[in-house]
Amino acid sequence: MLDIEALRADTPGCVNVIHLNNAGSALAPRIVTDTVVEHLRREEEIGGYEAYAEAKDRVDAVYESIGRLINAPADHVALVESATVAWDRGLQAIAFSDPLQPGDRMLVSGSEYASNVLPLLQLAKRTGATIEVIPDAADGAVDVDAFTSMLDDRVRIVSINHAPSQNGLLNDVAAIGDVLRLRGSSAWYLVDACQSVGQLPVDRERIGCDVLSATGRKFLRGPRATGFLVVSQRMLDELEPFPLDLHAATWTAIDSYDVASGAARFESWEKPYAALLGLGAAVDYALACGLESISERIGALAHRARTSLVDIPGVTVRDRGSTLTGIVTIRVGDPAGLVSELRSRGINTSLSTPDYSQIDFGRDHTPGLVRISPHAYNTEDEVDQAIDVIAELVRS
């Protein structure tokens, strides 16, 4: 059982705002900010290299913490600047070491995020491969049966976002992984867990993906400009990232090099160590709270919001899926104006626009959505206050 008052006491921002934008960037626990500032101060006092040397064991422990968080070996974890960088590093390795050919196929979910589709569009344009959208099932999530029927030897890449940022659903990424294994597919499987890590339990081993990407700043409550990539053993056995640097590989002779063991090959030498230590503090904080408890709390608050919003004239709850996440999305007449007015009243939400996910938004020509995303530290009263203000503003 979570102690909500303790969570709020740990979260200084709670006294300033009603923060319902955790799918964008969550309020950090005090321990996260203190960890970042402490290391920056140490860099100020003794120098950046020296501060890293002093904190090396703590930096190494971040990999272990992330491994516990998502059930993966620590040496399969790479620390990078964002979820997008993490996803791109995986794709770059595929494109460099196992190049696509004309006629190859790439399958994506209908709710895929723009930053995942755009690099695939580039690959398709330059290689002659094609991108195909996996149909949705009746509940709105990826149709696993349809995916199974689409799978053949020409499918080289499968890209699925676990918890889309604009429709509240949860895709069954483990079922997709099961199909790939049962069919003996050689396709590379990329899972964007940007919105699910920190919000609910995520098990990379159970999912069976080759690339899992995540960020620190969303439900995990870590610093901005932090993220991580987790790769399969197959990625380490068969692929070489591009480009390498002197952290990812060792220059052994004028014409040769050795690639680093483990997922370190996906990293670069320079890192924001203060922020990454803050990421480790955020992961440890989430683990101490318990992901099951966090998920249950977020789900309850999101359900409270949905059931209230659905009764407001002029508001349409757009969420779909048999399993819903803590991301609540609504259609209103002026979504940008509503987000702005809510912020002026100390209530943080966010705006989602069609350029984020062209396929999904194109289904019903939605011009924009207001996204409401509570976290465990939010209260029922905060959700109710936000709903009351939304009802007032929509009526006016």
Tokens of 269: 């030498």
In angstroms, rounded to a whole number, what is the distance separating the alpha carbons of residues 252 and 388?
Answer: 65
pTM: 0.96
Please give the pLDDT value at position 131: 98
Q: What is the pLDDT of residue 247?
A: 97
What's the pLDDT at 365? 82
- For domain 4-25+291-395, give the fold: Aspartate Aminotransferase, domain 1 (3.90.1150)
What pLDDT, on a 0 to 100 scale, did the predictor assign at position 235?
A: 98
List the chain domain ranges: 4-25+291-395, 32-287
Could you read off the pLDDT of 137-180 as tens digits, one per residue?
999 999 999 999 999 999 999 999 999 999 999 999 999 999 99
Q: CATH number of the domain at 32-287, please?
A: 3.40.640.10
Q: How high is the pLDDT of residue 362?
A: 82
Determine contact, residues 172/140, Cβ cutoff 8 Å. Answer: no
State the Cα–Cα distance between residues 160 and 169, nearest whole angstrom: 12
What secondary structure does DSSP assign to 130-160, as a single string? Answer: EEEEPPB-TTSSB-HHHHHHH--TTEEEEEE
Contact indicator for 328, 319 with CB cutoff of 8 Å: yes
Residues of the chain with pLDDT under 70: none
Q: Which residues contact 301 (CB under 8 A, 6 or more apart)?
A: 326, 374, 378, 380, 383
| 96-152 pLDDT tens trace | 999 999 999 999 999 999 999 999 999 999 999 999 999 999 999 999 999 999 999
Q: What is residue 361's predicted lDDT score, i.e. its pLDDT?
A: 86
Residue 360 is predicted with a pLDDT of 85
Taking the C-alpha atoms of residue 11 and residue 31, their distance in angstroms, rounded to an integer, is 9
pLDDT (tens digit, 9 = 90+) per residue, 218-243? 999 999 999 999 999 999 999 999 99
